[in-house]
Amino acid sequence: MKTKKLSIASSVAMLGICGSSLTHAEETFQLTSLTFATTKSAKLNAVTGVGSESESLQTLQFEHFGVNRWGYLYFDLESYNGRHVGAIPVINDGGQAYDLFAIVTPSLSLTKVTGTSFTFGPISDVSLIAMGRQASYYRYKTWGAGVSLNFAVPGFDWFESGVLTHDSSWNVEPQTFATNTGQNYRLDKRRWMWRTLLISKPIDISSQRFNFNFFAIVNSTGNGEVGKHGIEKFVRTELLWQIGGSSDHQLGVRYEYFRHKNSLSNGFGDNSYSSGAPYLMYKYTL
C-alpha cells in the first residue's frame, strides 16, 4: 500500500491550523481539545486501517464541537501511530508508520433556522445532519446525510441520536488492492447509518470531578464493487478525571470497540472481526 507519508510534526501543525480556524467561529457553546491516547490492544483492522501489527498504537487527536446560531459543527482529526499500522499480511501489505483519519459533521437545527419549537416529550430539537469521513488508508472515505434528534436528558450537556444514509469507497483495484488507480471503487452504496453522540455534565464524586463521553456509529454495508462487511459497529466511550477539578487537564480511560464481517485481517472468506481496545489517555481542553 502506498500512501502519502506525513511526519508527526506535520500532523501536529495540521491540528493547530484546524484548531485556530474553528475556535474563532461565532459559537454559543464549544469544546475544543487535544488528546493523546495509547493502547497495547489495537488489533489490525483491514476496513478502517486502525490497529497495528504489534497491537501497540498511539493516537494524537484534535477535536472540536461548537454550537452556533444555525446548528453545530463537529470536527475530529486523528493520527494513529505504531508499527505497521493498517497492515494486511495476507496480501503482503506491510502497512505504514501511521494513518490519518478525519470526521466532519455539520448540523442544521430546525428550531434555530425556522424559529419554530420542535420540543416533544424528551425531544428538544430536530436537526438535518451530514457526515463525511476520510482516511489516508487506501483513501477510504464515507459520506451521508439524514435526520438527528436532540434530547433533554438530566446530567448531559449533549444527548443526540439519528439516522443517516451511508456510502463509502476505497481507492483500490478490486481483488488486487493496488492503490492510486485514479478511481474510487464503491464499498457501500445507499446503505443506512445510526449515529449517537453523548457529552455529560461534570460528575462530582466526593471531592473529585469526572466526565463521561460516548460516540457510536452502526451501519449496514453492501451494494458496492468491493466486498461486503455485514453490520459495521464502532463504539468509543471515555471516562475522564479532571485534574485538580479543572476541565483543562483530564486523565482517564477510553474504550473502543469494532466489529464487522469478512475482514482481510482474518484472511479471505467468511469470518467475523471484533476488537476491544482499552486506552490510557490525557486530554487538554483549549
* Cell 486523528, residue located: 78
8-285 folds as Outer membrane phospholipase (ompla); Chain C (2.40.230)
| Residue 2, pLDDT score | 41
What does the chain look like in DSSP terms, one character per residue? -------HHHHHHHHHHHHHHHTTS--SEEEEEEEEEEES-----TTT--SBTTS-EEEEEEEEEEE-SSEEEEEEEEEEEEEEET-BGGGTB--EEEEEEEEEEEEEEHHHHH-----BTTEEEEEEEEEEEEESGGG-EEEEEEEEEEE--TTEEEEEEEEEEEEEEE-B-TTT--B--SSPEEEEEEEEEEEEEEEEPPEEETTEEEEEEEEEEEE---BSSS---SSEEEEEEEEEEEGGG-TTEEEEEEEEEEEEES-GGG-SSS-EEEEEEEEEEEEEE-
- pTM here is 0.86
| Residue 47, pLDDT score | 75
Here the cell at position 203 is 460528575
> Which regions in the chain score pLDDT beneath 50?
1-15, 17-25
pLDDT tens digits along 8-27: 444 444 445 444 444 444 78
Domain boundaries, the chain: 8-285
Strands 249-261 and 71-85: unpaired
